[in-house]
Amino acid sequence: MQETLFLPLIIALPLLGFVILGLSGKRIGEPAAGWLASLLVLGSFLLGLVLLLQGGARWTLAEWLPGIPFSLNLDNLSGVMLMVVAGVGFLIHVWAIGYMHGDPGYSRFFSYFNLFIAAMLVLILGDSLPVVFIGWEGVGLASYLLIGFWYQERVNADSARKAFIVNRIGDLGFLLAMGLLWSMFGTLSISELVEKVEAGGYSFTTLTLAGFFLLIGAIGKSAQVPLTVWLPDAMAGPTPVSALIHAATMVTAGVYLLVRHAFILHGDGFLAGLIVTVGLLTAFYGALCSLGQWDIKRIVAYTTLSQLGFMFVAVGVGAYWVAIFHIVTHAFFKALMFMTSGSVIHALGGEQDVRQMGGMRKYLPATHLHGLVATFASGGLVPLAGFWSKDAILAYSFEFGPWLWVLMLGASVLAALYSIRWYVLVFWGEYRGRSPSGRTNAHAPGGKAHPHESPAVMLWPNHILMGGALGVGFMGLPYVIDYKNFIEPYLTKAIGDFPHEKLPVVTEWVLIIISAVVAIAALWWGFRFFQQQMPAWYERFQTAALQGFYADAVYNALLVNPAKGLAELLFVGDKGLLTGFAGLGSLMGGLGGLLAKLETGALRFYLAGLLLALVLLLGWGVLR
């Protein structure tokens, strides 16, 4: 592992883009700004690839803060994440060149986008927790800026703010985790923590608490139950943002964080149960909500939630490499799904309601193909990427407990359903929208008469992603097929080896076949079902799901409004505090007034007072 200055350079490249575009983006103009941003990300990708192939790299600035170095570490784990972030990030950048065409904030968009990549890279590469935290909040900031990219609309600004605040709840967990780990081990460097945790000599209960704090952080960032509420709203941002930040990369940072700290979580029954519970709840919640959405992006957003739940379950059952594997496959198919949605939106001049879509397979053949692959990968069709990673999760779940396997199987049925629902509503059937002619939109100026296929700059990234969604699964085949697959040993080298019993070959095969068959069946059933008129029970379900099962309302009633009310109350109280102090002042004044009354002006009173004082003084002074 080499100590090299090229490592911070990986981060510096997109950061440079942020600065240049931020300061003089307007002058660079369109599309040069977009290409500049994209190329810088590509540069990071290539640089990272080179370093990774050389066996990783480190870079340290000692005593950045007392006892805390500023250290970066490129190992296999962060390397894989770097490939995903910079690679998929690059594709989305390129795609956005087409998508953001004509937006007045074009260069601003790419400047933020580069900022995001930089922050995400810091998060991934950071080896010291405060450095990770810089990235952690940095991506939060970038997400805030991008969700509120069209801040002129109140709802967008509100969503951005909500995302930031909810994320900060998670950040508090992260901070407390740092505090606890520091007080336990006196270091915040992850590589040192690994050693110290192995060395022992501490209370395991405390370590569990540290893991719990980290989990809170991860829940916030990955929008798990109960902090899911910000993610659907985050769709207010431009579609590339949703694809990059809220599907492929940032939201998986929570999973990454947990995997990075597998050495803390591993073997802790309480945390495992908690993580599995959280993941499972999120998987179901996301899936069910997705089934009720009409907004094309919100559909996909909830599917992301559901998939994130899968990843959490993977972490919970101890399948750390699987969680990362799923991140990789998910990055491809979910980015593809979002960008397909984006292409459709683009084609329809900004229309996002799926009830106004349908039949797009005729108008947008290439996009349709992307959509199809994304659906199948997401729905878990053999042998696309999503199948293999999901299957691995299921296998590990079976190991954890057959009941979990059953539940997860149910969740994957839902996954198949929502994927196919999205596909059917968008691409199948007949076009339900009003004639697109005459509709103009800021994002697609001079609306076309016809839903039109996207330009090449948007198609090619999707082609590549489609390739990924088809192929990346093969690097993580189950052991019964490929005894030594690529990714497991590769990641285990960085995550740490937590050996476990493999399932018997027969069981494994049975599980694979069941999940494959179930997926196919669910996809087929869904394909038929969603073309029909919906039955009444589904309508009722849909109404509740559309509102996210009223999670926002509950939060508003239970938390947000009381907090605001209390703020008002405290504000008045604080004024009262000052009044209280002022009251003390007037009390003094009153006392003074009374005392001054003693100066009655009557001479004989004075004489009496004087003599009385004299007597008292004498009496007390002499007799004392």
Partner 1 sequence: MIHVGLWLPLLAGLVLLIMPGLGRGFAIASAAISLGISLVLFAGYGGQGVAYASQTPFLPEAGVYYALGLDGAGLLLWIAVSLVVLLGVWIADVPVRFLAYTLMMQTGLLGIFAAQDLIFFYFFFEATLIPSLLMLWFYGGADRLRAIYTFALFTLVGSLPMLAAIFAVRFLGGADSFLYTDLAANPLTGQTASLAFLGFMVALAVKTPLFPLHAWLPSFHQQNHPSGLADAMGTLYKVGIFAFFKWAIPLMPDGLREWQGLLLFLAAFGAIYAAWVAFSAPDWKTLLAYAGVSHMGVAALGLFSGNGEGTVGALYLLGASMVYGSAMFLFIGLVYKRTGSLETSPVRGLAKHAPALYVLGMFLLMAMIGLPGLSGFPGELMALLGAYKVSPWLTFVAFLAVIAAAAYALTAFQKLFQENTQAQAVPDLDTREWGFAAVTVAVLLLMGLYPKLFTLYLEPLGKALAALFGGAS
Partner 2 sequence: MLTLYMLAGFATVLSLLAFVISREANRIVTLAGLVLAGLFCLVGWGQTVEAFGGLYRFDTLARGLTLVAILGGLWALLLGPAKKFEFPLLVLYAVTGMHIMASSPNLVVLVIALEVFSLPLYVLATWQRDEKGFEAGLKYFLLGALGAAIFLYGIALYFGATGSFMAGAPGSGPLYLAGLFLIMAAFAFKTAMVPFQWWSPDVYQGSPTVVTLFMATAVKAAAFAAMLRIFTPQGLEAWGVGMAVLIALSTLFGNLGALTQTEAKRLFAYSSIANAGYIGLGLYGPTGQATIPFYLLTYGLATGLIFAVLSMLSNQDVPLERLRGLWYRKPLLGGAMGLGILSVLGLPPLAGFWAKYLVFQEAARAGLYGLVVLALVTSAIGAYYYLKTFFLIFSKPTPVQEAEDHEAEAALTQFGSSEAPGIPVAAAPMGLTQGLMAPAARTGAPALGLLLGAIGLLGLLSVLPGLGLQAFSAGLSPAVAAVSITAPASGATLIAGSYTLQGTGKPGETLELFDNGNPLGVVTVGPDGRWSLPVATSTLPSALAAGAHTYEVRRAGQATGASTNVNVAQPAEPAFTSPLEGATVAATGFTLQGTARPGQVVEIFEDGASLGRVTADANGQWSLNVPPPPGGTRVYEARPEGAASGARISLVVPEAQAGAICSQSFALSNLQAGGTVSRPFRFGGVGSASSYTVLVRRGDRIIGRKEIPLSAACGWSYFSDPGPGEITYEVRETGRLETEPPLTTITLQVQ
Partner 3 sequence: MIWLIASALLFSMGAYGALTRRTAILVFLSIELMLNAAALSLISFSRLYGSLDGQVVVLFIIAIAAAEVAVGLGLIVAIFRRRETTSVDELRQLRG
In the complex, the residues that contact partner 1 under the rule CB under 8 A are: 22, 61, 63-67, 130, 133-134, 136-138, 141, 144-145, 148, 151-154, 157-158, 161, 164-165, 168-169, 171-172, 175-176, 178-180, 182-183, 188, 563-564, 566-568, 570-571, 574, 577-578, 581-582, 585
Token pair listed for 246: 């809220």
Q: Could you tell me the smallest distance in angstroms from the CB atom of residue 196 to partner 2?
A: 23
Q: Are 45 and 83 in contact (CB under 8 A)?
A: yes
60: which strand partners?
71
Q: Which helix (H) or strand (E) holds 535?
A: none
Q: Could you tell me the smallest distance in angstroms from the CB atom of residue 163 to partner 1?
A: 10
Q: Which helix (H) or strand (E) holds 62?
A: strand 57-65
Choice between 573 and 592, CB closer to partner 3: 592
How many chain residues are in contact with partner 2, going by CB under 8 A? 27
Q: Could you tell me the smallest distance in angstroms from the CB atom of residue 195 to partner 2?
A: 22
If contact means CB under 5 to 8 A according to the sort of partner, which of partner 1, partner 2, partner 3, none does residue 592 touch?
A: partner 2
If contact means CB under 5 to 8 A according to the sort of partner, which of partner 2, partner 3, partner 1, none does residue 595 touch?
A: partner 2
Q: For residues 370, 373, 379 and 384, what is the CA-based torsion angle, rounded to 10 degrees?
A: -140
How many whole angstroms from its chain centre is CA 597? 72
Quote the CA–CA distance of 615 and 624 in Å, as a whole number. Answer: 13
If contact means CB under 5 to 8 A according to the sort of partner, which of partner 1, partner 3, partner 2, none does residue 5 touch?
A: none
Q: Are 132 and 39 in contact (CB under 8 A)?
A: no
Choice between 456 and 588, CB closer to partner 3: 588
582-621: contacts with partner 2 (CB under 8 A): 585, 588-589, 591-593, 595-596, 599, 601, 603, 605-607, 609-614, 617-618, 620-621
| Closest to 240 measured CA to CA, from 499, 465, 450, 440 | 465
If contact means CB under 5 to 8 A according to the sort of partner, which of partner 1, partner 3, partner 2, none does residue 506 touch?
A: none
Choice between 563 and 598, CB closer to partner 3: 598
Quote the CA–CA distance of 122 and 135 in Å, as a whole number. Answer: 5
Per-residue H/E/C for 459-513: HHHHHHHHHHHHHHHHHHCCCCCCCCCCHHHHHHHHHCCCCCCCCCHHHHHHHHH
Choice between 582 and 616, CB closer to partner 1: 582
Choice between 199 and 603, CB closer to partner 3: 603
If contact means CB under 5 to 8 A according to the sort of partner, which of partner 2, partner 3, partner 1, none does residue 175 touch?
A: partner 1
Q: Could you tell me the smallest distance in angstroms from the CB atom of residue 187 to partner 2?
A: 19
Choice between 148 and 468, CB closer to partner 1: 148
If contact means CB under 5 to 8 A according to the sort of partner, which of partner 2, partner 3, partner 1, none does residue 591 touch?
A: partner 2
Q: Is 449 in the site for partner 2 (CB under 8 A)?
A: no
Q: Could you tell me the smallest distance in angstroms from the CB atom of residue 589 to partner 3?
A: 14
Q: Could you tell me the smallest distance in angstroms from the CB atom of residue 146 to partner 2?
A: 45
If contact means CB under 5 to 8 A according to the sort of partner, which of partner 1, partner 2, partner 3, none does residue 571 touch?
A: partner 1
If contact means CB under 5 to 8 A according to the sort of partner, which of partner 1, partner 3, partner 2, none does residue 151 touch?
A: partner 1
C-alpha dist (Å) from residue 370 to 73, 374, 508: 35, 6, 31
Choice between 61 and 608, CB closer to partner 3: 608
How many CA atoms lie within 13 Å of 559's alpha carbon, on the beta-carbon side? 11
Q: Could you tell me the smallest distance in angstroms from the CB atom of residue 594 to partner 2?
A: 8
Q: Are 87 and 33 in contact (CB under 8 A)?
A: no
Which burial class, exposed, middle or buried, applies to 157 when counting CB atoms under 10 A from its CB (0-12, 13-18, 19+)?
middle
Token pair listed for 183: 């007080």
Token pair listed for 535: 């039955």
Token pair listed for 505: 């070959």
Rg of the chain on CA atoms, in Å: 30
Choice between 449 and 596, CB closer to partner 3: 596
Choice between 54 and 579, CB closer to partner 1: 579
Choice between 403 and 606, CB closer to partner 3: 606
Cα dihedral 90, 293, 218, 391 sign: negative
Quote the CA–CA distance of 173 and 179 in Å, as a whole number. Answer: 10
4 residue type, one letter: T
Instruction: Give the residues lining the site for partner 3 (CB under 8 A).
Output: 596-597, 599-604, 607-608, 611
Q: What is the longest distance spanned by two Cα atoms in the chain?
A: 117
If contact means CB under 5 to 8 A according to the sort of partner, which of partner 2, partner 1, partner 3, none does residue 589 touch?
A: partner 2
Choice between 578 and 596, CB closer to partner 1: 578
| Closest to 282 measured CA to CA, from 408, 159, 403, 469 | 408
Interface contacts to partner 2, rule CB under 8 A:
585, 588-589, 591-593, 595-596, 599, 601, 603, 605-607, 609-614, 617-618, 620-624
